[in-house]
A and B are shown apart, each in its own frame.
Chain A
Amino acid sequence: MPLDPRAAMHAAIAVPGVPRDADGPVFREPWEAQAFAMALALHQKGLFTWQEWAAALAREIKRAQAAGDPDTGETYYKHWLATLENLVAEKNVASRETLHRYRDAWDHAADRTPHGSPIELRSEDFG
């Protein structure tokens, strides 16, 4: 299946809680669409089934709620992102340390990029 709106609609139905309208998923911010699309791509690579994803996401939401998450729906994609990070680590695609190193590198890239220029990652950003 190609990475297309049909696959997205399928995911939005298979996973409970995905904010959507009649056409498919809807997003509050651009990063949410990116996080959604990455899960779709990993699913197509066979890294997980939607059933497995839904269970992992439910665990993450439960964990967050126990830690005081307001559970207003606004944090849905925060949990989605955390689930991506969890599964990527559990499936040995990338460790938490690796993800953290790249996060710091992007932070460094943003810091040295003048306001108004596109932010690009360079090798020098890895300290």
Chain B
Amino acid sequence: MSGHDHDHEHSELSETELRVRALETVLTEKGYVDPAALDLLIETYEKKVGPRNGARVVARAWTDPEYRKRLLADATPAIAELNYAGRQGEHIIALENTPKTHNMVVCTLCSCYPWPVLGLPPVWYKSAPYRSRAVSDPRGVLRDFGVELSPDTDIRIWDSTAEIRYFVLPMRPAGTDGWSEERLADLVTRDSMIGSGLPKHPNELG
């Protein structure tokens, strides 16, 4: 590698990630594992992987108007305030959902998917047809996910790039007045932070 190569120009996998990918590829080729079945199982751990910083960020923004302002002005330092240190050069933009605008994020699942903030990516992120349909027919895709938006709500689609990651700041559910940040964070799902879903209803908390 020449001295002019910089790490941010190509992708990076840690030594551990390389070994995991190697195993999965070999075991798949030999018929011992089915990657789709692995993905389905792993998807059930959506809320059991990583620090889930994003849910805390959203809950803080719901309860602290000053924090919300800072987050929407520049999300990277606002997220860092909650002790989440992103990868170098990573820039995160928070997209605010309002009654008029619903934001949804699509992603190519490159090596820098911000899982510490968003949690595990959804399986459909791997599907190119689904991603392109999210762009061409977002209302239809949302309907598939059980999200029916008012016809007056505009839907905006954001495609993550090499330098910019997005996450959605969903609207705070009604009926949560006076809730603690911690309790509110339990309402914040991965899907609500990429805009393919809405936060849980207060009644859904067990």
A32 neighbours in B (Cβ, 8 Å): 49
Tell me, yes or no, whether A57 is within 8 Å of chain B by CB: no
Number of A-B residue pairs having CB atoms within 8 Å of each other in the complex: 156
Q: Of A38, A78, A116, A119, which one neighbours B27 at CB under 8 angstroms?
A: A38
Inter-chain contact A110/B120, CB cutoff 8 Å:
no
B162 neighbours in A (Cβ, 8 Å): 114-117
CB distance from B55 to the nearest CB of A (A): 15
Cα(A115)–Cα(B8), bound, Å: 6
Inter-chain contact B20/A81, CB cutoff 8 Å:
yes
B20-47 CB mask vs A (1 if < 8 Å, else 0) is: 1111111100101110011011101100
> Most chain-A Cβ atoms within 10 A of its Cβ — which of B21, B24, B108, B112?
B21
Cα(A45)–Cα(B28), bound, Å: 13
CB distance from B170 to the nearest CB of A (A): 23
CB distance from B192 to the nearest CB of A (A): 19
- Size bin of chain B's contact surface: 35 or more
Inter-chain contact A47/B32, CB cutoff 8 Å:
yes
> Most chain-B Cβ atoms within 10 A of its Cβ — which of A30, A78, A117?
A30
What are some 18 contacts across the A-B interface (CB < 8 A)? A3-B37, A3-B40, A8-B44, A27-B45, A27-B50, A34-B20, A34-B42, A88-B27, A99-B23, A106-B21, A107-B13, A110-B12, A115-B111, A116-B161, A116-B162, A117-B162, A118-B126, A119-B11
Which A residues contact B (CB, under 8 angstroms)?
A: 3-5, 8, 21, 23-35, 37-38, 40-42, 45, 47, 78, 81, 84-85, 88, 93-94, 98-100, 102-103, 105-107, 110-119, 121
